[in-house]
Amino acid sequence: MRKDRNIYLQMKSLEEARNIVLTMLSEAPSKPCEWVDAPDAVGRVLGEPVFAGISSPDAHLAAMDGVAVEAEKTYGASETAPKTLVVGKDAFYVNTGHVLPPQTNAVIMIEKVREVEQDRIVIEAPVFPFQHVRKVGEDIVATELLFPQNHKITPYCLGALLTGGVFKVPVKPRPKGLIIPTGSELVDWRRVPLHAVQPGQVLETNSFVLGKLMEDSGGAFVRHEMLKDDVDAIRRAVAEGVRGDFDFILIGGGSSAGSQDYSKKVIADLGEVLVHGVTLMPGKPVVIGRVRGKPVFGVPGYPVSAIIAFEEFIRPFICGLLGQEEPRRQKALVKPTRKIPSKLGLEEFVRVKIGKVGETLVATALPRGAGCITSLTEADGIIRIPTHREGVMEQEPVEAELLRPLFSVEKTIVAVGSHDNTLDVLADEIKARHGAYSLSSSHVGSMGGLMALKRRVCHLAGCHLLDPEDGTYNLSYIRRFLPDTPVKGVQLVLRDQGFILPRGNPKKINGIEDLTREDVTFINRQSGSGTRILLDYRLKEKGIDPGRINGYATEEYTHMAVAVAVQSGVADVGLGIFSAAKALNLDFIPVVTEQYDLVIAEEYFDSDKIRVLLEIIASPAFKKRVEALGGYSTKHTGEVLW
C-alpha cells in the first residue's frame, strides 16, 4: 500500500489558529451546573451567582472588651465632670464578640473604665453610637451577592461562603478531554522495565504531562490506552470519543508530515480539518479540526511542541469554557548574552535562562530542539521572536515571559563557561541550604566564559585553560583577555581528564596516537573549551595533524554529552572527565589531572550571592559529594587563588 505524506499546504499564523479555536468555543454547547459542598468548590468556577443566606454578624457584637452602654447616657462626661454608671442598669460588662445587651449601642473600652464601687463605674469621656461595635451585616448582609457567575473560588472565598451560610454552590463542570497517545514506537513506562526498552522505543510521557496541564487549567482528562500507528484503530478511538461526554479530543503524535502521521486523515475522515500547520516553532505540526461539533486536536509528539500547542490552543479553549481569562505570565526586559538567530516566517518560542547581573537581566538561550523537555524545566523565561524577525541580536533589549517570579530570577547566580559535573552538585547544595538562591550554568566553554565576564553578562565563569608554555591553568588567559576586568579566582576542584571509552575498550585504544586509526571515530568538544585546548596541545606535542582524526569536527558542549555519544555508539572515544565516564559505566584512560577554577567578577565577590556560593564550596558536605563522583580531588577546593 502506498503511504502518502501529509503536506503543510496552507499553514495558519498563530493568531489565525487561535481565532479558529475561539470560534469553536462560541459554538460549544452549555452544560448544567454541578452542586458541590462549599469546601470542595475551591479551585472551581461558579456557574451561577451566589447570594448570602444569612447576615454576618447577625447581631450587634462587642468589638472590644469593656462595658456596653447606651451612648446617649455618656454624653457630657469629661475629666472635670465624670459620670457614674450603675452596672447592670446603665452598663454591662462584655467581652469581644459578645452580643450587646438590649438598649445598648456602644462599648467603652475596659481601659477607660474606673470602678468605684462593686456595682458602679466612673467614665471620663463619652462614646458615640456604635463605637467599638460590630453592627449587624457589617461583613455580609443576607441576600446580597457574594460572588457572580464565572468567579473562581479561592480559599478566601470559602470563608465568605461559609460565613454567609452558603454550604453548597453551583459550579461549572470541568471541561473534559480524551487523550489518545499514538505511535508504534511508544512504550508504557508503568509496565516495561527500563532495561527492556529497546533502541528507537520511546517512553510515553506526553499524555501524562498534557493531562496534568488540563487539570492545572481547571479541566479533567481520561487517558486512552496507547495505540499503534494504525489509522483504523485511531479512527475508532476518536469516533467513540466524540460520541462520549468529552468536550474535546487530543490525538497525541501523528500530526506531522510523515507517512504514518494519521491525525489529519482521521479528523478529515470523521469531520473537518480547520488547521494543519501553524507558523509556530516549536509546535508547527499541530492539527485543529472538528468532528460532530467537538474540537479534535492533533498534538505533535515532541514534548516541547506538545506543551506549547497545549498552552496556545487547548488551554484557551478550557479557560473559555469556564469563562476564565487565560493566565498571563509576568514579563520583563532582558538582554541576550549572545545572538539568537531565528527563521523568517515562523514565530519562535526560545527558552532561556535568566539572571540579574548588575542592574541588567541577562538571558541565555537553552537548546531549542522540540524534543528537549529539559529546555522547559531549566528555563526561567521564554522569548517570542515574531515571524518577521531573523532573530535577536546580542545585548538587544527584548521582552521575555517569566516562568519564575522576578524576585526568584534576581537571586540567580549566573555562571557561564566550561561544563563540570560538580556544578550540578553545587546547584543542588545551594538550593537545599539557601532555598531563595539558585545557580544557573550555561556551557559555552572556558573561553566563552571569559568573554561573558568581559561583556559583564555573568557573575562567574568556570575555566580550565591550560597554558602550554608553563603548564599553569587560567591565569595567563585572564591576563591576556581580561586586562581591564577585575576578577578573583577560586579553585573548585582538581579533576582527572582522559579518554572515555565503551566498556571493555573494544577498539583497544591506548593513547592519543590511536585517534588517527581509520576504524576509530572520535567525538570532540567545542572550540574554545578547555578540553579542546588540551587535546590540541597534546596533538601538537605529538605532531599529529587533527585532519587525520575521524570525528575531530564533530563537537559536543558537555562532558556528559561526550559520554553519551560513546555509550550510544556514535563515537568510539571522546576526551572528557572521569566522573562522566563513571556516571554512564564507561571505561576511562587518564591523560592529565587538571585544575578547574571559578573566575568571579570582583564587583560581585562580596555580594550575598557569591557569599552563599563560597560558603557551600567550603562546606564538608559539598566536598564529600564531589569526592563520591570519582576522579576529583578537593584538597584545595575553596581556596582564593588570585
For residue 488, list its beta bridge partners. 600
pLDDT digits (tens, 9 = 90+) for 586-621: 999 999 899 999 999 999 999 999 999 999 999 999
Residue 2 pLDDT > 50:
no
- Note the pLDDT of residue 1: 36
Residue 6 pLDDT > 70:
no
Q: Which CATH superfamily is domain 329-404 in?
A: MoeA, C-terminal, domain IV (2.40.340.10)
Give the confidence band of 572 by pLDDT, cuts at 50, 70, 90: very high
pLDDT digits (tens, 9 = 90+) for 452-474: 999 999 999 999 998 888 888 99
pLDDT digits (tens, 9 = 90+) for 125-137: 999 999 999 999 9
Give the confidence band of 255 by pLDDT, cuts at 50, 70, 90: low
Q: What is the DSSP string of 232-282?
A: HHHHHHHHHHHHTT-SEEEEES--SSSTT--HHHHHHHHSEEEEE-BSEES
Report the C-alpha gap between 318 and 326 in whole angstroms.
Answer: 9
**Residues 170, 47 contacting (CB under 8 angstroms):** yes
- Burial environment of residue 622 by CB neighbours within 10 A (0 to 12, 13 to 18, 19 or more): buried
Contacts of 629 (CB under 8 A, 6+ apart): 421, 422, 425, 579, 582, 583
How many residues are given for the chain?
A: 642
Q: Which residue has the cell 541550604?
A: 433
In the three-class reduction of DSSP (H, G, I as helix; E, B as strand; rest coil), residue 628 is classed as: helix
Report the C-alpha gap between 505 and 586 in whole angstroms.
Answer: 9
pLDDT digits (tens, 9 = 90+) for 325-348: 999 999 999 999 889 999 999 999
Residue (of 546, 556, 555, 536) closest to 516 by Cα position: 546
Report the C-alpha gap between 466 and 627 in whole angstroms.
Answer: 23
pLDDT digits (tens, 9 = 90+) for 137-148: 999 999 999 999
Region(s) of the chain under CATH 3.40.980.10: 14-28+175-321
pLDDT average, residue stretch 368-393: 89
Q: Helix, strand, coil shares of the chain as percentages rounded to 5?
A: 30, 30, 40
Region(s) of the chain under CATH 3.90.105.10: 34-56+139-171
Report the C-alpha gap between 33 and 169 in whole angstroms.
Answer: 9
pLDDT average, residue stretch 163-190: 96
Class of the 451-633 domain?
Answer: alpha beta
C-alpha cell at position 21:
479555536
Q: Which range has the worst mean pLDDT, 136-145, 362-371, 554-563?
A: 362-371
For 361-457, where are the alpha helices, taking DSSP H only?
374-377, 406-409, 422-433, 446-454
- Note the pLDDT of residue 620: 96
Residue 258 pLDDT > 60:
no
What torsion do the CA atoms of 508, 510, 512, 513 make, to the nearest 10 degrees? Answer: -70
Region(s) of the chain under CATH 2.40.340.10: 329-404
Q: Which range has the worst mean pLDDT, 68-77, 236-245, 394-403, 524-533?
A: 524-533
Residue 281 pLDDT > 80:
yes
Region(s) of the chain under CATH 2.170.190.11: 61-134
Q: What is the DSSP letter of 457?
A: -
More confident residue, 2 or 490: 490
- Note the pLDDT of residue 529: 87
Output the average pLDDT for the chain. 93
Q: Which range has the worst mean pLDDT, 286-290, 441-445, 538-542?
A: 441-445
pLDDT average, residue stretch 268-281: 94
- Note the pLDDT of residue 9: 55
Q: Does CATH number 3.90.105.10 belong to domain 34-56+139-171?
A: yes
- Note the pLDDT of residue 551: 95
pLDDT average, residue stretch 247-271: 82
Give the confidence band of 186 by pLDDT, cuts at 50, 70, 90: very high
- Level-2 CATH architecture, domain 61-134: Beta Complex (2.170)
Q: What is the DSSP string of 430-442?
A: HHHH-TT-EEEEE
For residue 51, list its beta bridge partners. 145
CATH of domain 14-28+175-321: 3.40.980.10
